[in-house]
Amino acid sequence: MMDFSDFFRSEADQLLRFCWVLTLDTDEAADLAQEVMTRAYERWDLLEQQDQNPAGWVRTVAVNLSRSRWRRVKRFRMFVPKLVAPPQAAAVASDPDLALALEALALRQRQVIALRYWADLPLAECAIEMGISLGSVKQHLARAHRNLAAAIDPAILQDLVL
């Protein structure tokens, strides 16, 4: 197994982007990714000794921690009139429709989109990373598809396969 510095060099950017898809906020993503990497470093001896899959480990931890971060960011938006507040302008400028659609997704839907389409994981592994049943993953993904389909060109979703 590689040492931590090699792992960090190869995975830090990937993890940062994954965290951004989870949070849609650059600062939050950086905080989250930094925290996850720090935890990985603190446990590296064990991860190495166990020959675990550290990329999977950091994803699991990121998904878990993003829940509490979501609490701070999202809070009670559902109780106020719909506020369509997309993420960072730099990203929005490149793909505003997708950014807006992502912003409107519930956290669980965003998590499953991040795992299924960004991390390219099978549904069973999405369930593992999210700590929920396969049935629930399918439910969240179906809802996410519906919401994305309403907000972006349906043709984009044509090749998405459950």
Partner 1 sequence: MNDLGKRLNDLASRATTGVVLADPSITGPATVRSVRGRKVAFGLVSALAVASMLFLWQGRNSGTTSVVVGQGEDNSTGFFTGGPCTDGPVLELLQAGIPTFDYEPAGSFDELANQSAAVVVGQVASMARTEVNGRSYIEVTVSGVFEISVDSGADTPRNDIEIIAYQAQWADRSAPDPLASPVAVDGLDFFGFLSPWSGVRGGWAPGPEGLYVSCNGPGLPVIASGAGPNDPADPGQWWAQKAAEQAAGQAMADAATAAEAANEAAEDQLDEHPIVETSGGFESVEAARQTLADAVVAEAEVRRGANRDNREADPVLLEELEAARFEAGRALWTASGISSYRLRYVESHPPSGFTSLVSLRIEDGHVVDTEFRQGSDEADQVFTVDEMFAIAASVDEVYDLTLDADTGHPVELRLDRDDAVRGDEFNLREIQVIPRQDLDDADPILQDWLPELVPLPEGLISLLRPSTDVTQGYLLHANDDLQVFLYLDGDEVCAVIDPFPTNADSTGAAGTCRFKTEFLANTVLLANSVPQGLTSYLLVVPSPDYLDQQWTAEAEGGTLDVTSWSVLFTEDEDAPLGQSLVRILCECGDRTFRLPS
| Binding to partner 1, residues 49-108 (CB under 8 A) | 49-53, 56-57, 60-61, 64-65, 67-68, 71-73, 75-76, 78-96, 98-100, 102, 106, 108
Give me the half-sphere count of Cα atoms (radius 13 Å) on the Cβ side of residue 38. Answer: 7
Query: Which one-letter amino acid corresponds to residue 89?
Result: A
Q: What is the CA radius of gyration of the chain?
A: 16
Closer to partner 1 by CB, 12 or 146: give it.
12
146 binds partner 1 (CB under 8 A): no
141 binds partner 1 (CB under 8 A): no
C-alpha to C-alpha distance for 9 and 100, rounded to whole angstroms: 31
DSSP H helical ranges for the chain:
4-23, 26-42, 44-50, 54-74, 89-94, 96-104, 107-113, 123-130, 134-151, 154-157
Nearest-5° Cα angle at 104, 114 to 85? 115
10 binds partner 1 (CB under 8 A): no
162 binds partner 1 (CB under 8 A): no
Q: How far is the CB of 91 from partner 1 (least distance, A)?
A: 4
Q: How far is the CB of 140 from partner 1 (least distance, A)?
A: 10
Q: How far is the CB of 81 from partner 1 (least distance, A)?
A: 5
- Give residues 118-137 in contact with partner 1 (rule: CB under 8 A): 118, 120, 124-125, 127-129, 131-133, 135-136
Q: How far is the CB of 142 from partner 1 (least distance, A)?
A: 13
143 binds partner 1 (CB under 8 A): no
Q: How far is the CB of 147 from partner 1 (least distance, A)?
A: 13
Residue with tokens 């993890």: 15
| 110 contacts: CB under 8 Å, gap ≥ 6 | 21, 22, 24, 102, 144
